[in-house]
Amino acid sequence: MTPEQFGLTNTFIAFASIMFSVASLGMPTYIAKFFPYYKAHVPDKKNDQLSWALLFSIIGFIIVLITGILFKNIFLQKFANSPELPTYYYWTFIFGFGFTLYMIMEAYAWQQRKAVLSNFLREVVFRICVTTLVVLLTFKVIKSLDVFIGIYSFIYLFLFFILFGYFFQKKQAYFNFSASVVTRKFYKKIVTLSSFIWGGTIVLNIANVFDGIIIAAVLPNGMAAAAIYYLAQNISSLMQAPQRAIISASLGPLSHAWKVKDYPKINRIYHRSSINQLIFSSALFCLIWLNFDDGITTFHLQENYRGAKWIFFYIGLARIIDMGTGLNSQIIGTSTFWRFEFFSGMLLLLITLPLNYQLTRHLGAIGPAISNLISFTIYNAVRYFFLLRKFKMQPFTVNTVYTLLLATVTYLICYYLFNNQTGFIWMITRTTVFIALFAIGMWSLRLSPDLQPVLATVKKRLKLGN
């Protein structure tokens, strides 16, 4: 694909994220917060929570669609530097509609303890679908970008029907619009909570995707510049793989723990989410940074993508900070202080939008990466001190320091051993040595309390003994 085409497909995801945050009307939070009450007091066949969540999200998306049609010309004027976008403008809404429905179902799947399934569909099946389309485009089976975009736009709708069909077949999803006892009892709290968190979700999602959009709108080369940024962003998203899994696995237990006031359990989740995410993100950041230039050369990427290296550096540091501070957002969002999540999100937006714009104008595509590092550092610091002051909870231990030192030392050893070596074999060698040294250090220092249970599970599955 040309950089412009690659930038366009990634811009679809950015727009879909904003559409979802507006159209969802806070329904994922409604599911996460009140699912335990529906589960405890309403039979499955009379459970109306998913029905209301899907209905209001569809209504919300209709409003988004109407707004997009009415203000199309004004919107597209802001993207005069990206002529590819007007051609496929309406396709973004199909993609966004599927993304919205899927995210509602994903929130429901998390509460049904089926996070592995929903994460597999979103993280693996989605990428398999996209990769298949790219291969078909490359070998001219798909003969034009128009056909590619048309099929690409329906992927999330396809994933939604798979996920919904699974729960429908398991008799865990029903269409029921008769208000249950939980809906009638808590509807005022549902509206209040959903409204506040909805506002916070809009703010956070805009802050998360505004960087790529502002590049496409401001820089002279528009989508081509955005493509370089999106490559760095996509690579850095590898670091977030466990974050999404940990969030999905923890929301249900956190909601229940707040319900029964099990504060030690909340604190335990806070600590373990911090150290486990920090171990993974810091190690993967070092691995990617060690192999970045070699990867561009070895896999024959277009040379202009080499400019993504330092963009990745700043985005990667922001990811380490965000993941290393643990599930502070989810802990606050499921507590009685969920309003603070909205106000902290507003702070993030107030910092991110002007800073992104100014740094993009003055520094180019690397500007939003630096802006995100600054913004998310402040954002997580505010939430860190809030939980420390309100609940005397903080996620860091001496193992936090050991993890960062281990990653740094292991990186330096591999850098000086293999710095002048290039090629696929040396990438494998460099990576293998890093993983071996890091794993030995992690085991010796006992950095994570979850390491032993995970190894025990693996041994059990592989039938390697007790």
Reported as a pLDDT band with limits 50, 70 and 90, residue 154 is: very high
CA distances to 31, 99, 161 from 168, rounded to whole Å, are 17, 19, 10
Half-sphere exposure of 389 (CA within 13 A, CB side): 7
Give me the chain's average pLDDT, please: 87
Number of domains making up the chain: 1
Is the separation of the CB atoms in 419 and 430 below 8 Å? no
33 in any annotated domain? yes
Q: Using CA atoms, how far apart are residues 106 and 108, in angstroms rounded to an integer?
A: 5
Is the separation of the CB atoms in 103 and 23 below 8 Å? no
Over the stretch 208-247, which tens digit does the pLDDT of each residue have? 777 777 887 777 777 888 888 889 988 998 888 788 778 8
Is residue 141's pLDDT more than 80? Answer: yes
DSSP state of 300: T
Enter the tokens of residue 40: 């405890």
Least Cα distance to 29 among 63, 56, 61, 47 occurs for: 56
DSSP state of 123: I
Reported as a pLDDT band with limits 50, 70 and 90, residue 183 is: confident
Helix (H, G, I), strand (E, B) or coil at 43: coil
Domain residue limits at 36:
1-218
453 in any annotated domain? no
276 in any annotated domain? no
Q: What are phi and psi of 446, to 5 degrees?
A: 50, 55
238 in any annotated domain? no
Reported as a pLDDT band with limits 50, 70 and 90, residue 465 is: low
Q: What are phi and psi of 377, to 5 degrees?
A: -65, -45
278 in any annotated domain? no
159 in any annotated domain? yes
Give the pLDDT of residue 361. 86
Rg of the Cα atoms in the chain: 23
What's the whole-number mean pLDDT along residues 391-408? 93
139 in any annotated domain? yes
Q: Using CA atoms, how far apart are residues 106 and 24, in angstroms rounded to an integer?
A: 12
Residues contacting 329, CB < 8 A, separation 6+: 341, 383
Over the stretch 59-100, which tens digit does the pLDDT of each residue have? 999 999 999 999 888 877 777 777 778 888 899 999 999 999
Reported as a pLDDT band with limits 50, 70 and 90, residue 302 is: confident
133 in any annotated domain? yes
